[in-house]
Amino acid sequence: MGRRQHVTSTGFRIGGGPEVRRLGFGAMHLATEPGPARENSLAVARRAVELGVTLIDTAYLYGGGANEELLAEALHPYPEGLLVTTKVGVAKSHPSDEWKLDGRPAVLRDQVEQALRRLRVERIELLQLHRIDPETPLADQLGTLRDLQDEGKIGRIGLSEVTVDELAQAREIIDVASVQNRYNLLDREHEPVLAACEAAGIAFLPWRPVAWGESGARAEVAAVAAELGATPTQVALAWLLDRSPVILPIPGTSRIDHLEENLAAEGLHLLRAHRDRLDRLPELA
């Protein structure tokens, strides 16, 4: 596949699709059980959209589909331009009832069909394979998603927690629109994957975008935050946005005040000196 840059001054076109704001929202932490906690979750999801979020991430794994149902209750009918992306490929095994990777074609197809029903849509604009199942041929897993794409049930296909080699293999089978790997200021294990995504114009959605390591690293982030009149979390998110134009962080929270704090990071400007200090943090940790 050729190089595809879909970056604009205000957002990113994932797989060449509609533009989304680069700072999104991860719904994983939203409580789904009936009662006050669920009502709060509905309010947080709605507030995210009110604040201009256009990318919301969920997955079948998050409550066995309960998180998807929550988002549909909160936001359907979805406002124009809102991209709700979900993930499949993890299922409960029987009789142990434990979650495990399951990329068998029949399982993937069923999970996509169920996600369509729960999200109340006819097409999932971005569907990500939660993990590659090592016990199922990659061509079978991605071929199933490609078939569903051909049927109009999936718009674009993404991957999660992949290596550079796995990404290259996948791109021989499908057009990869996004990669969702663990990555943050203090955890850059997947730097080579980010570089591969940047070279190809593939959206990189870091999960766990904010994490704190050794005390020395935390102190340095706090010092930069104090100089900028911001919070350490805002500094961590601003660093990600500044790190690469293909990075679309999806910080999650169950509190409206934290949601507002996270989204305000978009307006935080890091000076070159700040970036240099933050770039060196893994050496300090």
> What pLDDT digit, counting tens, does each position of 80-131 carry?
999 999 999 999 876 667 899 999 999 999 999 999 999 999 999 999 999 9
1 pLDDT tier (thresholds 50, 70, 90): very low
- The residue annotated as part of the active site, out of 60, 62, 78, 183, is 62
pTM > 0.85: yes
CATH of domain 11-212+245-255: 3.20.20.100
- Asked if 62 is an active-site residue, the reply is yes
Report, as an integer, the average pLDDT of 170-180: 98
User: Average pLDDT for residues 124-150, to the nearest whole number?
Assistant: 98
Report the pLDDT value the prediction gives residue 6, as an integer from 0 to 100: 54
Residue 146 has pLDDT above 70, yes or no: yes
Q: Please, which pLDDT band fits residue 18 given cuts at 50, 70 and 90?
A: confident
Confidence of residue 282 (pLDDT cuts 50, 70, 90): confident
Domain boundaries along the sequence of the chain? 11-212+245-255
User: Cα–Cα distance between 69 and 225 in angstroms, integer?
Assistant: 37
- Residue 215: per-residue pLDDT: 66
- What is the DSSP annotation of 135-168? TS-HHHHHHHHHHHHHTTSEEEEEEES--HHHHH
Residue 250 near residue 25 (C-beta atoms within 8 A): yes
Distances (CA, A) of 264 to 105, 112, 121, 223: 41, 34, 30, 19
Look over the chain and give the mean of its residue pLDDT values, rounded to a whole number: 93
| pLDDT 10s digits, 43-66 | 999 999 999 999 999 999 999 999
